[in-house]
Amino acid sequence: MDKKQDAMVERLVETSNPKVIAELETKIAKLDEDKLRMSEKITQNSKPKASMGQIFELLRELLSNPWNIHDKGPLEVKKTILKTAFKAPLAYDRQNGFRNPQVSVIF
């Protein structure tokens, strides 16, 4: 957005037509408003949804017994646990079955 705004300011300086100048000024003002809206959205989304205590308790519970949560949790939780537990996807060989997994540092 900054690059677009800079380009429009340069065009504004080079232009002598009053209609074009007015149009460029309105576009620059609109870009400023859009930039402000985006910064507000970023600050709203950066607030944590849970407190540090809640996050710590959830992590402690997960690390104490990941199989229990994997067994009872929804699909998204299962995928997250698998991504956390293994460094890379499990390799499979048709003749010998699953190869040795690359376990994460956590475990």
Residue 10 has pLDDT above 80, yes or no: yes
DSSP string of 12-74, one letter each residue: HHH---HHHHHHHHHHHHHHHHHHHHHHHHHHHHTS-SS-HHHHHHHHHHHHH-HHHHHHHS-
Q: Which amino acid is at 104?
A: S
pLDDT tens-digit readout, 55-77: 888 778 777 777 777 788 788 88
58 versus 36: the higher-pLDDT residue is 36
Residue 1 has pLDDT above 80, yes or no: no
Given pLDDT bands bounded at 50, 70 and 90, which one contains residue 104?
confident
Which of 7-11, 32-36, 51-55, 64-68 has the least mean pLDDT? 64-68
